[in-house]
Amino acid sequence: MKIQLQEDVLKDQNEAATFNRAIFKQHKTLVINMMSSPGAGKTTLLEETIKALKDEYQIAVIEGDLATERDAERIRSLGIQTVQINTVGGCHLDARMIAKILPEFDLPSIDILFIENIGNLVCPSSYDLGQDYKVVVLSTPEGNDKIPKYPVMFKRTHLTIINKVDLLPYVSFDIDEAEMNLREINPQAQFITLSAKTGEGMEGWIHWIKERLR
Amino acid sequence: MKIQLQEDVLKDQNEAATFNRAIFKQHKTLVINMMSSPGAGKTTLLEETIKALKDEYQIAVIEGDLATERDAERIRSLGIQTVQINTVGGCHLDARMIAKILPEFDLPSIDILFIENIGNLVCPSSYDLGQDYKVVVLSTPEGNDKIPKYPVMFKRTHLTIINKVDLLPYVSFDIDEAEMNLREINPQAQFITLSAKTGEGMEGWIHWIKERLR
């Protein structure tokens, strides 16, 4: 079944977000908007998440990048339908871009749609895509001071994932301070630590997703 | 001597950049606009750069952040005049913000002015601040695929610094591929590898700065 897209939906960011949200709800698709700095490990985390879930659930991915299809190719090689959005310099995805490509997906058959946003800890936080959950990935080499320094992102996300805990012996990152800083900005936020590379802590994230499936 | 700032300079980004550039040239101040993803190590690199140069040269710093004075406090503790610009959510510095605070500096006595931009590999690349040189810092944990994935930034910068080479044994980063990718996008770009933390390679960067002093 293909989505019918009315042209006027594409005129306004917030209208498009409302449209997307209604469509996702109608088709019982769980939609997760993944955000982070460049290089925090979103794509690697997605690859490992897909490997853990794809036998049980139908998954699709939207990949946002300024340029190249590199990340989309990585996800496609796992046998997952992936649509690439190239923003050609644009610093975030918006709901109109998502609405425009929804007809490419057979949503009623899709359990989970991951949206990998542009690597940017600022702009993506201000754009509702119609997702169910916003997740931000912060990697240990970035330092735990990024939570107070980029408060808008951490205030508006449901879950903060600290990735690359395998690098903790080699970098300055205080997990307890990060969690405390997060609670100050966003008392409802959830907090998971993991390494997508080694698999440490992945079960907590997989459990978090499974609990939210419709 | 204080800078006279005409109000109409603040109306237009590009006019403000031209104004800033003329002022910097008049006072023979070398101005370097430092850009990177969040957590690539700009502030640590600045700290180590200042320690290496401050006995010989008069240095000042403009710190751009969305929120907090954390980075400015780190630089001030080295005895360096530092003016913090908080963009309150804005994703980049622009030339008007710089023009507005220039009167706080005694430019004729300042040899080098470092501007630490907002941590963002997208938006800051599009805004001329009137600087002499744009430098982008890419850290090894981010991965060398960031150069083709964020081409606008790497195309428009004079120098790419690969930071955190001390982490090379623990992360996937191919220095040769990074340099090759950079040359494809920007054949004139210069390329320096270093670790601000261990000091490895710092002499190349210090030499680069000294060669450019007016």
pLDDT tens for each residue of A65-76: 999 999 999 999
Instruction: Assess B185–A contact: CB distance below 8 Å, yes or no.
Output: no
Residue environment code for A88-101, b if the CB has 16+ CB neighbours within 10 A, otherwise e: eebbbbbbbbbbee
Q: What is the pLDDT of residue A11?
A: 82
Model confidence pLDDT, tens digit, residues A17-48:
999 999 999 999 999 999 999 999 999 999 99
Q: Match 């599009």 to its residue by tokens.
A: B126
Instruction: Assess B47–A contact: CB distance below 8 Å, yes or no.
Output: no
What are the chain A neighbours of B120 within 8 Å (beta carbons)? Answer: 91, 120-123
Q: What is the pLDDT of residue B1?
A: 52
Rounded to 5°, angle at Cα B71 from B65 and B73 = 125
The CA distance from A148 to A181, in Å, is 7
The verdict on a CB contact (< 8 Å) between B150 and A66 is yes
pLDDT class for B5, splitting at 50, 70, 90?
low
Instruction: Assess B88–A contact: CB distance below 8 Å, yes or no.
Output: no
DSSP structure class, residue B54: T
**Class of CATH domain B7-212:** alpha beta
Q: What is the pLDDT of residue A137?
A: 98
In the structure encoding, which two tokens stand for residue A158, read together?
Answer: 């449901």
pTM listed for this prediction: 0.95
The verdict on a CB contact (< 8 Å) between B167 and A164 is no
Q: Given a cut of 70, is residue A1 above it in pLDDT?
A: no
The verdict on a CB contact (< 8 Å) between B142 and A170 is no
Mean pLDDT in residue range A40-62: 98
The verdict on a CB contact (< 8 Å) between A122 and B118 is yes
What are the chain A neighbours of B141 within 8 Å (beta carbons)? Answer: 39, 139, 141, 164, 167
Rounded to 5°, angle at Cα B137 from A91 and B41 = 100
The verdict on a CB contact (< 8 Å) between B70 and A145 is yes
Chain B residue with Cα closest to A163: B141
The verdict on a CB contact (< 8 Å) between B122 and A123 is yes
The CA distance from B145 to B173, in Å, is 9
The verdict on a CB contact (< 8 Å) between B146 and A39 is yes
Chain A residue with Cα closest to B151: A67
The CA distance from B168 to B158, in Å, is 24
Q: What is the pLDDT of residue B47?
A: 98
Nearest-CB residue to B120 (from A71, A89, A120): A120
DSSP structure class, residue B134: E
What are the chain A neighbours of B64 within 8 Å (beta carbons)? Answer: none
CA distances from B58 to A144, B80, B113, B166 (A): 31, 9, 9, 30
Q: Given a cut of 90, is residue B177 above it in pLDDT?
A: yes
Q: What is the pLDDT of residue B10?
A: 76
pLDDT class for A82, splitting at 50, 70, 90?
very high
Contacts of A212 (CB under 8 A, 6+ apart): A30, A132, A133
Q: What is the pLDDT of residue A100?
A: 95
Rounded to 5°, angle at Cα B88 from B82 and B92 = 70
Q: What is the pLDDT of residue A2?
A: 57
The CA distance from A84 to A68, in Å, is 9
Q: What is the pLDDT of residue A10?
A: 76
Q: Residue by residue, what is the 3-state secondary structure of chain A? A: CCCCCCHHHHHCHHHHHHHHHHHHHHCCCEEEEEEECCCCCHHHHHHHHHHHHCCCCCEEEEEEECCCCHHHHHHHCCCCEEEEEECCCCCCCCHHHHHHHHHHCCHHHCCEEEEEEEECCCHHHHCCCCCCEEEEEEEHHHCCCHHHHCHHHHHCCCEEEEECHHHHHHCCCCHHHHHHHHHHHCCCCEEEECCCCCCCCHHHHHHHHHHHCC
Q: What is the pLDDT of residue B214?
A: 72
Instruction: Assess A42–B contact: CB distance below 8 Å, yes or no.
Output: no
The CA distance from A168 to A174, in Å, is 9
CA A89 to chain B, closest CA, distance in angstroms equals 7
Q: Given a cut of 90, is residue A8 above it in pLDDT?
A: no
Distance in Å from the first CA to the final CA of chain B: 19
Instruction: Assess B175–A contact: CB distance below 8 Å, yes or no.
Output: no
CA A1 to chain B, closest CA, distance in angstroms equals 34
What are the chain A neighbours of B66 within 8 Å (beta carbons)? Answer: 122, 149-152
Q: Given a cut of 90, is residue B184 above it in pLDDT?
A: yes
Chain B residue with Cα closest to A88: B152
Instruction: Assess A150–B contact: CB distance below 8 Å, yes or no.
Output: yes
Best of B122, B152, B197 to mutate (most A CBs within 10 Å, chain A): B122
CA B144 to chain A, closest CA, distance in angstroms equals 9
* Cβ-based burial of A10 (10 A; exposed 0-12, middle 13-18, buried ≥19): middle
CA A26 to chain B, closest CA, distance in angstroms equals 34
pLDDT class for B7, splitting at 50, 70, 90?
low
